[in-house]
Amino acid sequence: EDGLNGWLRYARLPGNNTKQAIVPSSIVALNSTETSPVYVAGQELQKGIKGILGKTVDVTSESVDGPSIVVGTIDAFTAAGGDTDVIPELEEDGFWLNTEGDTIEIVGQNECGVLYGVFEYLSLLGQGNFTKVTKATNPSASIRWVNQWDNMDGTIERGFAGLSIFFEKNVTVANTTRVSEYARLLASIRVNGIIVNNVNANPIILSDENMAGLGRIADAMRPWGVRVGISLNFASPQTFGGLSTFGPLDESVIAWWGDITNKLYEKVPDMAGYLVKANSEGQPGPLTYNRTLAEGANLFANAVKPHGGIVMFRAFVYDSVNLNESNWKDDRANAAVDFFRDLDGDFDDNVVVQVKYGPIDFQVREAPSPLFAHLQQTASAIELQVTQEYLGQQCHLVYLPPLWKQILNFDLRVDGEKSVIGTDILSGKRFGKELTGYAAVVNVGHNATWLGSHLAMSNLYAYGWLAWDPTDNEVTILQDWTRLTFGSDKTIIDTITKMSMESWPAYENYTGNLGIQTLTDITGPHYGPNPQSMDNNPWGQWTRADATSIGMDRTVWNGTGFAGQYPSEIAAQFETIETTPEELLLWFHHVPYTHVLSTGATVIQHFYDAHYAGAETAASFPTQWAKLVGLVDPQRFDETLFRLMYQAGHAIVWRDAISQFYHNISSIADERARVGSHPWRIEAEDMQLNGYRITVVTPFEVASGLR
């Protein structure tokens, strides 16, 4: 078991689990052509039933005598004389699953819906769940996409699982086997679109050769109902097209993009659209020409509109050169709302502003982005990250749905009315929008595990389910995934549930708590502890820690004013220390290390205690996992144990580095007298080392006695 099949292993159920399974012997796939999702659905069903139950079933497109599994769109089902009276209204991509009678009905509003229904049915079988179901389900949002940050040379920005499955040496790959396997995984979690190249886009994606390659990629993904789109580089007309300008209102630029877009749609007639990162972190954009971000977005919106495409325009816009920490009011968190607030209403209706969940950048804890409250006439989508850029890069187990949920469940109280980010805003209901939804940066690579770690796949799985229904329970999702991935043994379920649910709090504990963010190396790989790098950098992810106090004051009365970007009820809550949730204390306020928390501990003592507690939890992971020896196949057991042992060790590195750093800067001792004294720890200088030389190490806090 190398992980390649993810949760779609269709492992044979143990014999005594299959007794109640009565599965018809024929599959009737209505109106299916060989490249259609309905055809694929029929094939998948056949494969799944064979794997799970060991039973061979036929697939036909004609109706049969006797019980069958009928799969088809609602139109085909009606035409075949199916009874649609009992089926509730299906929305785009929705489906109906009925296992009550002898004949099983899987009916989709469209072809994607059929495929999703089939995967749901197989998921129930795969979990040994044979209870009768009659249900219709519809998506919470129409956009359920993933983003890949794949570079044209085959590397992946913030990818931790090997090289790209889409590109190598500046061209699209010839062999699309992994591409269609990825599409299969995505279809099973109801993802319907993908951006295949990095947001820091290389215009070479627009070469004739690469356009043809994109056609091949789209052909490989289309049967799975996953539409392909690409990231654009704003300056392409100049740097790639040879024009003298890339100004968004220039006639020659408009014509150039129109032409490029038409050519792309010749190769990919159902192209989903474009993703654009502009005027951010050195990327070109409309501001260069004194044009607004909306004018920039609309340039592309006009080009794709005749083809039915959309533009995802990223709100991750900030000026990393001019952020200045010595200016007390400077705050990167303000940037998105500052840039976009006055543009609401200026975007074309096929533009969707794609907003990272927090105002900074995928941190372990952030307040939700207030931009969701300001985009009322503009469609919005949330950007999540499955790839664990700041969160341990798949070398640490961090089950992310609890983090995402805390954002999705947040009620922004726009104009004093219920405005929950997931169910009200991203569903499009609150502001009457059709085009809203979800994008997740996933960054799978060539590694057989897709993400580099078997356990990290629960995050991808959960992403799809939450985009479909943000009210889904994160534990239920996790346990479904576990049963499909590792089997239904109770010890397996209990162990993986416990470890996963402990993992985000543990990671937060040992990497940076109370809303101070992950105190990682900010200038480079975003991995490992480096609290010194947090301040005095052009990225603005500052802690403003000094000898006596810590935290970013983001209040209106005394700080950067960020708290005031929220609707009034929420703004008032974050404005004062007393009403700010403690886990966000240092996100919003600058307090002395001696500030006393609700537990009675001071901030500095909480730092010490939390870092020790987090590392202790991580230390328990290998022991917890070890209980699964013999229950999980050896390959996945060993590979996972290896990662968890590494994590346990690295959590100690984190604990000691951060504790040492704050001990040093605050001169306040750990009242439990642990920091700085590690009675059991073996220091490098006490060892007999061969083949190493001693060197001075910076930052000091990750060194052993400075060396």
In the complex, least distance from residue 162 CB atom to ligand BDP, rounded to whole angstroms: 17
* Beta-sheet strand order (sheet of 58-60): 58-60, 26-29, 69-73, 104-108, 95-98, 134-137
CB distance 615 to 654 below 8 Å: yes
Contact (Cβ atoms closer than 8 angstroms) between residue 384 and residue 441: yes
Q: Does 361 bind ligand BDP (CB under 6 A)?
A: yes
- Cβ nearer to ligand BDP, comparing 277 with 332: 277
Question: Among 163, 186, 199, 226, which residue interacts with ligand BDP (rule: CB under 6 A)?
Answer: 199
Pairwise CA distance, residues 160 & 391, whole Å: 12
In the complex, minimum distance from the CB of residue 282 to ligand BDP, in angstroms, rounded to a whole number:
10
Q: Which of 186, 286, 295 is nearest to 245 (CA)?
A: 286
Characterize the bridge pairing of strands 379-385 and 273-276: unpaired
Q: Phi/psi of residue 337, each to 5°?
A: -65, -40
Residue number with CB closer to ligand BDP (361 or 639)? 361
Q: Which is nearer to ligand BDP, 13 or 199 (CB)?
A: 199
Residues 6+ apart with CB under 8 A from 194: 145, 146, 147, 148, 183, 186, 221, 226, 227, 228, 229, 272
1, 75, 92, 157: which one binds ligand BDP (CB under 6 A): 157
Q: What are residue 316's phi and psi, to 5 degrees? A: -75, 70
CB nearer to ligand BDP: give 364 or 477: 364
**Which residue lies nearer to ligand BDP by CB, 157 or 582?**
157
The answer to whether the CB of 586 falls within 8 A of the CB of 545 is no
> Interface with ligand BDP includes 200 (CB under 6 A)?
yes
Q: Which of residues 640-699 bind ligand BDP (CB under 6 A)?
A: none
Q: Does 145 bind ligand BDP (CB under 6 A)?
A: no
Nearer to ligand BDP, 361 or 575 (CB): 361
Contacts of 660 (CB under 8 A, 6+ apart): 675, 676, 700, 701
Tokens of 145: 């996409």
- Residue of 158, 216, 307, 341 that binds ligand BDP (CB under 6 A): 158
Q: Which is nearer to ligand BDP, 158 or 305 (CB)?
A: 158
At residue 224, the 3 state secondary structure works out as helix
* Three-class secondary structure of residue 427 per DSSP: coil
CB of 156 to ligand BDP, least distance (A): 10
Question: Residue 366 interacts with ligand BDP (CB under 6 A)?
Answer: no
Q: Which residue is nearest to ligand BDP (CB)?
A: 361
Please calculate the CA angle 215-217-221 and round it to the nearest 5 degrees.
115
Q: What part of residues 265-324 is at the interface with ligand BDP (CB under 6 A)? A: 277, 316
Answer whether 468's CB lies under 8 Å from 140's CB. Answer: yes
# residues contacting ligand BDP (CB under 6 A): 9
The two structure tokens encoding residue 570: 């929420």
Task: With CA atoms as reference, report the closest residue to 298 among 338, 349, 364.
Answer: 349
- Positions marked catalytic: 281, 361, 389
Question: Does residue 362 interact with ligand BDP by CB under 6 A?
Answer: yes
CB within 8 Å of 20: residues ≥ 6 apart:
130
Angle at 380 between CA 376 and CA 384, to 5 degrees: 140
150 forms part of the interface with ligand BDP (CB under 6 A): no
Q: Which two tokens stand for residue 199?
A: 């947001």
For the bound state, the minimum distance from the C-beta of residue 145 to ligand BDP, rounded and expressed in Å, comes to 15
Assess 95 for contact with ligand BDP (CB under 6 A).
no
As measured in angstroms, the least distance from the Cβ of 354 to ligand BDP is 10
Residue 181 C-beta: closest distance to ligand BDP, Å: 26
CB of 584 to ligand BDP, least distance (A): 20
Taking residues 125 to 144 in sequence order and writing x for each that binds ligand BDP by CB under 6 A, - otherwise, the string is --------------------
Residue written as token pair 């929008």: 433
The single-letter DSSP state of residue 545 is -
Minimal distance in Å, beta carbon 356 to ligand BDP? 7
Least distance to ligand BDP from the beta carbon of 195, Å?
12
How far apart CA 475 and CA 498 sit, in angstroms, is: 10
54 φ, ψ to 5°?
70, 20
Q: According to CB under 6 A, which residues from 40 to 69 bind ligand BDP?
A: none
State which residue, 313 or 362, has the beta carbon closest to ligand BDP.
Answer: 362
**Comparison of 540 and 622: residue with beta carbon closer to ligand BDP:** 540
Q: Report DSSP state, residue 92.
A: T
Binding interface with ligand BDP (CB under 6 A): 157-158, 199-200, 277, 316, 361-362, 389
